[in-house]
């Protein structure tokens, strides 16, 4: 069994996070981006990490193995006052590290942070076909708020539904 370390992202992670995001975009259709679309440079990731450290409705956490980042998750909040009570959760893990409980650990860490900060609502979007992820989110208290029909058009022209889910502070 591998020993993964889960910790908040630090400024020195920016370069690895930029590279990891590009790799993950190549490996799965479950994310929103196509390969090479909307890449973030190390400098842009550094700005994100810096902002995440300053604002309570933003948080970034990484999973690493032997000091190599293999996954990360973020809670991203809004600057608008009316929406500062909730954040959106997102996660990305290298395919070679799927099914090793990394997603669960990243989710747990983010939800713990949200609870500590008294964030009232954590939302996420997940492709309807990603039934394993939906099951995991339900296990952690997420409810389905709705479905966006034919929301995502894939390279082959097929259309996929997006499930909107939320977890409320108890």
- What's the mean pLDDT when you consider all of the chain? 90
For residues 39 and 37, give the distance between their C-alpha atoms in angstroms, rounded to a whole number: 6
Sheet holding 121-127, edge to edge: 5-8, 58-65, 68-77, 86-93, 121-127, 159-168, 143-153
Query: What's the CA gap between 15 and 134, in Å, rounded?
Result: 30
Predicted confidence (pLDDT) per residue in 150-160, tens digit: 998 888 899 99
Q: Is the pLDDT of residue 67 over 70?
A: yes
- State pTM to two decimals: 0.90
Q: What pLDDT score does 24 carry? A: 82
On the question of pLDDT at 89 being above 90, the answer is yes
**Tens digits of per-residue pLDDT, 134-152?**
999 999 999 999 999 999 8
Q: Which domains does the chain have, with CATH numbers?
A: 5-168 (3.40.630.30)
In order, the DSSP letters of 97-149 are GTTSSHHHHHHHHHHHHHHHTT-SEEEEEEETT-HHHHHHHHHTT-EEEEEEE
């Amino acid at each position: 069994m591998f020993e993964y370390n889960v910790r908040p992202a630090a400024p020195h992670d920016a370069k690895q996070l930029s590279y990891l995001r590009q790799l993950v975009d190549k490996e799965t259709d479950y994310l929103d981006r196509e390969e090479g679309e909307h890449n973030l440079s190390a400098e842009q990731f550094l700005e994100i990490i810096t902002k995440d450290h300053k604002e309570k409705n933003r948080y970034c956490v990484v999973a690493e193995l032997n000091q190599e980042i293999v996954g990360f998750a973020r809670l991203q909040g809004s600057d608008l006052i009316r929406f500062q009570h909730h954040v959106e959760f997102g996660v990305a893990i290298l395919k070679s590290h799927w099914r090793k409980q990394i997603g669960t650990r990243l989710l747990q860490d983010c939800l713990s942070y949200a609870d500590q900060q008294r964030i009232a609502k954590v939302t996420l979007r997940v492709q309807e076909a990603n039934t394993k992820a939906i099951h995991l989110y339900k296990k952690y208290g997420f409810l389905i708020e709705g479905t966006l029909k034919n929301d995502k058009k894939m390279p082959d022209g097929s259309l996929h539904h997006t499930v909107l889910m939320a977890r409320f502070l108890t």
